[in-house]
Every structure is written in structure tokens, then in C-alpha cells.
Structure 1
């Protein structure tokens, strides 16, 4: 029988404050809400455990947390939570993205999980379709990998573009 041992759960936040992260919330539009029932994007990568990684799993997990935090400086919207709030005055429900003070039912937009296996390490990631599509997800994942491998903020990946102002041109 295989034994599963849960070691820890950590919330990783961006290392720097962004003006968007201090905003109270971002209200979702009807266009955003049409994706609310679409399943999360879920992908993972399996790495074979070598002699090097076997002795340094703790430092590997810490390096992944640190690099994820630095990656969230760039993809700051993914650090938010999807929050469902009931409006008592008009008996409606609103759904928004909040970065702090999660009142109501909330769910992370991005979730990452590191699982140590007997012969490897699995890094799984899921992302809500409300904030990103598959291409954006892989852009995030590749940027995280680049920051993790290089150990710096300098990246070759292009920076993401947030907002709906691309239609204004």
C-alpha cells in the first residue's frame, strides 16, 4: 500500500507591490463570466529524480516558491482570488477578483503543487479560464521556468499585456 504524506501548504505572493494589487477588486464583466464554468486549465511536468535532486528536495521546493513569487511580480493578476459576494440590498451575486480581504467564498485563480515521488518530482499547475487562456498559461509557465533556472528577474519571454485596451486602437 502506498503512503501519501502531506507536508505543507503555502500561499505564495508577489515579492513586490503592484498598483493593481492594492486595488480593492476587479469586477468581472459578462464576457468574463461566460468562462466561469469552464474547467481550470491543468498541466504538469514530471522530472526524473537524479542524485542531485534527491539530496536537495527542500532547496528545490524553496527555489520553486521563490521563483514563483518573482514570476507573480510579472503576472500579478494571477495572485488574486476569485470571490463570490452576495449583495443583500438587491439580492444579486457579484463575482470579482480580489487581492486582499477575501470576504465571501473565494478560490485561487492560480494553483501550483509540487509532489515528490519515489523516482521523480511532479510540478502541477492549474489556472482559471476567467483570467487566461491556454496560450497565456504556457507563457506564465515558461516564464516561471526561465526565472527558476536563471535565478534572476531578467527574462527572454515577452511581458504579458493586461487589460482590455487593445480594442481602443
Structure 2
């Protein structure tokens, strides 16, 4: 017989938290944790993140010859796996999305299945996000944002 373990993280409407423009230091949005994951266990991760692309051209920009054009923001969402037995965080899922200029409260759903092959303890799954925008104030986190994780446990253990 199989059993399950359920974890979730939810963040209410955002406070216009800017999304990082540095891929080496992305913004952490959500996180769930399991004390132990064993070989054969299946972890189903799903959720939604809500973002705004609030690019607005300044009047000063309009007067310049090389004004910045309104462009879509390329957003990268990563699910990262960490454990006390993993030396470096491991990206297990990546999703790229283009947000049109002046996009308001865009909900981006995601889903991923992680099949474990080794026994790990203190496992954390984190949702990280960054943007390729020039201005860090152009893209921000809204909400609600949710991450759910269901661990399907192989056999009669927990």
C-alpha cells in the first residue's frame, strides 16, 4: 500500500516585491520541505506564481534619441532541490515565460514530477524567479502565489 505526504506554501498578494535581474541571485518565492525522501518516492510539485510587468516609459525617455522600446520581459522560473546530502542546490525544472509590457497580475501555472533515486534527508524544493529586464522595478511579484508538493511514498514507510 502506498501513502502520501502533503506540504504547501502560500504567499498572499505581493507587496510589489521586485523580481531579481541577476540569474546568479534569483528571487526566492516559495518553499516546501520533507524530512526524508526515499528511492522510488515520487514528489509531484505544482503551483502558480503571479507577476506584473509594469514597464512605463518616462517622459524624459521619449525625448531621448535612444529611447528604450517597450519589450516583453523574459521571466525564468526555476524549481530548485536542496538536501543536507546534496552539496550544491540542484535545478530540477525550468520554465521561461515572456510577459508583455503592462501585463497586470499574470498567473503562471507550473507542474513537475520528481522521481527520487537515492535516500535524502531535509529535502527542500524552492521556487526561484528572475527577469532579463534592465530595470529591477519593471517586474514584480503579485499574488496569491502557491506551491504544493505531494510525496507518494513507495511501500509502507513514511
| TM-score, normalization by structure 2 | 0.29
More helix as a share of residues: 1
The structure whose RCO (Cα within 8 Å, separation 6+) is larger is 2
More strand as a share of residues: 2
| TM-score, normalization by structure 1 | 0.28
